[in-house]
Amino acid sequence: PAPAPSAAASLHVRHRAVMPEWLALYYREPLELTHGEGRHVWDVQGRRYLDFFGGILTTMTAHALPEVTKAVAEQAGRILHTSTLYLDRHMVELAERIASLSGIPDARVFFTTSGTEANDAALLLATTHRRSNQILAMRNSYHGRSFSSVAVTGNASWSPTSLSPLQTLYLHGGVRSRGPYAALSDGEFIAACVADLEDMLGQAHGNVAALIAEPVQGVGGFTAPPDGLYAAFREVLARRGILWISDEVQTGWGRTGDHFWGWQAHAASGPPDILTFAKGIGNGMSIGGVVARAEVMNCLSANSISTFGGSPVTMAAGLANLTYLLEHDLQGNARRVGGLLTERLRAIAAGLPVVREVRGRGLMAGVELVRPDGSPAPEAASLALEHARERGLLIGKGGREANVLRIAPPLSLTVAEAEEGAAIIEETLRQVQHAEGKERP
Ligand code: PMP
């Protein structure tokens, strides 16, 4: 008799029968996770995995962090009302802390439930404030899946519709690895991108509302422009009153190691006008938000744009998580452990032609895989995910051609865990290289 399908397999069948086709699942046999602790998660069969993807950066600090669990349980047992119509102590305190951390003068904070919604709110603010629906965005960018956030998402394959409520002009600066930009020095690259920006502004119809950009492109494959690119853009934009929206959904809270926010690698001409965040701040609870100067935030005439806008439970979680990550200097940990991990990955990659590049900022490392002819190798990335999983490691993938392994563990990763994960990645990449059959002698 055929073996009985595992619990995860039958759940997979039910998932496919009832959920939309486009809701992608990782792995040939999708994972059902049952619990986690620290940097590890367990599946329904009891197998343990080291988590190098942090639930796509949502488990920012650690799985089942007792401080966050306690805050959630206490708040859930007390009151669960969800409306921005009443005062919430945790919400006000979290907003105060984020406002002062944001670097934006006279900052106001508005909470949402996702990054998409945060960008939606930012675009609503920018277009209203500037009375324009023209937006500048980066090629290869990802900002979410709502009608307005797909309209500024640079890659067609991440946009479920080509219809758009915004007039978007796409700029160079997101990806540099191929084409004429690859050969330029950092300074030349920045100058070329600024010239492109000026050219685009010349093609716009009057007012442009804002530039929206990720300091390090996340879904786009962890690609970062040279430090200072957005400062150079900012100078051009500020002269025309155009706002700068920094999408910090992946780069916020110290993930990049050297900085608390990604924009700080581009700080020479000051902070952005608007900053958006989400994912990790709730350590798994659903929080997003937008920070803006009061003058920009207060340009809306509606009296509220959300029922949730945070909730007592998610706000308590966010506050406990933020407190933990600041008290334990997880930004410093991201710098130190992330630096070691990226160095290790570079050493591993040196002998493997299947790896075109290892790039990283803090605990955000991308490993770009190519075929022997140098073209993108999405099949190698899929294979790497399967092999790593078999060895007990979860990683992600991304990039325009889905050929970049994305490594973004919880920020509390230890050196021993970084080494354990790197050893698995080494075996995995060797196996992938073997499959390509082109290992260097
Ligand atoms: N901005 C960026 C940079 C992101 O990476 C994402 C999610 N991958 C989003 C926005 C959208 O966030 P969410 O999925 O929470 O809506």
Q: For 42, list phi and psi in degrees, rounded to 5.
A: -120, 145
Q: Which residues are near ligand 1 (CB < 6 Å)?
A: 114-116, 119, 142-144, 214, 218-219, 247, 249-250, 278-279, 288
Identify which of 249, 277, 308 to mutate to test ligand 1's pocket (most ligand atoms within 8 A of the CB).
249
Identify which of 359, 360, 355 has the alpha carbon closest to the alpha carbon of residue 384.
355
305 and 380 together in one domain: no
As given in the structure block, the two tokens for residue 42 are 């367990």
% pLDDT > 70, the chain = 97
262 and 390 together in one domain: no
Q: Which atom of ligand 1 is nearest to the CA of 214?
A: 3
Identify which of 143, 246, 255, 276 to mutate to test ligand 1's pocket (most ligand atoms within 8 A of the CB).
143
Ligand 1 centroid – CA 115 distance (Å):
5
Ligand 1 centroid – CA 431 distance (Å):
32
Asked, for residue 2, whether it belongs to a domain, the answer is: no
251 and 336 together in one domain: no
Q: How far is CA 351 from CA 182, 248, 328, 361, 422, in A?
A: 22, 34, 36, 22, 15
pLDDT tens per residue across span 184-204: 999 999 999 999 999 999 999
Domain holding 416, by residue range, is: 7-60+329-436
Asked, for residue 1, whether it belongs to a domain, the answer is: no
285 and 389 together in one domain: no
State the pLDDT at residue 397. Answer: 96
User: What predicted TM-score, i.e. pTM, was given to this entire model?
Assistant: 0.96
Atom 13, ligand 1: which residue's CA is nearest? 115
Q: Which atom of ligand 1 is nearest to the CA of 286?
A: 15
- Residue range 272-291: average pLDDT? 96
Ligand 1 centroid – CA 288 distance (Å):
9
Asked if 172 and 207 count as a contact pair (C-beta separation under 8 A), the reply is no
Where among 273, 297, 327 does a domain terminate? 327
364 and 413 together in one domain: yes
74 and 222 together in one domain: yes
The CATH number that applies at residue 55 is: 3.90.1150.10
| pLDDT higher than 50, residue 23 | yes
247 and 321 together in one domain: yes
pLDDT tens per residue across span 312-369: 999 999 999 999 999 999 999 999 999 999 999 999 999 999 999 999 899 999 999 9
State the pLDDT at residue 441. Answer: 47
Asked if 361 and 217 count as a contact pair (C-beta separation under 8 A), the reply is no
Ligand 1 centroid – CA 434 distance (Å):
35
State the pLDDT at residue 2. Answer: 55
Q: Which atom of ligand 1 is nearest to the CA of 141?
A: 3
Atom 10, ligand 1: which residue's CA is nearest? 143
Task: Please name every residue paired with 358 in a beta bridge, in sequence order, or none if there are none.
Answer: 367
Ligand 1 centroid – CA 39 distance (Å):
22
- Domain count across the chain: 2
Q: Which atom of ligand 1 is nearest to the CA of 248?
A: 3
Asked, for residue 410, whether it belongs to a domain, the answer is: yes
pLDDT tens per residue across span 362-409: 999 999 999 999 999 999 999 999 999 999 999 999 999 999 999 999
338 and 302 together in one domain: no
- Residue range 218-223: average pLDDT? 95
Alpha carbon distance 61, 413 (integer Å):
9
The CATH number that applies at residue 88 is: 3.40.640.10
- Lowest model confidence (mean pLDDT) among 7-11, 40-44, 97-101, 185-189: 7-11
Which long-range contacts link 372-379 to residues 24+ away (Cβ below 8 Å)?
Answer: 372/436, 372/438, 376/400, 376/401, 376/402, 376/403, 377/403, 377/436, 378/402, 378/403
Asked, for residue 441, whether it belongs to a domain, the answer is: no
Which one-letter DSSP state was computed for residue 19? S
Sheet holding 404-407, edge to edge: 355-360, 365-369, 404-407, 396-398
215 and 319 together in one domain: yes
Ligand 1 centroid – CA 4 distance (Å):
38
36 and 169 together in one domain: no
- Residue range 64-74: average pLDDT? 97
Beta-carbon count within 10 A of 316 CB: 28
Q: Which atom of ligand 1 is nearest to the CA of 114?
A: 15
Ligand 1 centroid – CA 298 distance (Å):
24
State the pLDDT at residue 234. Answer: 97
Token pair 């650690």 is found at 62
Where among 308, 327, 346 does a domain terminate? 327
50 and 135 together in one domain: no
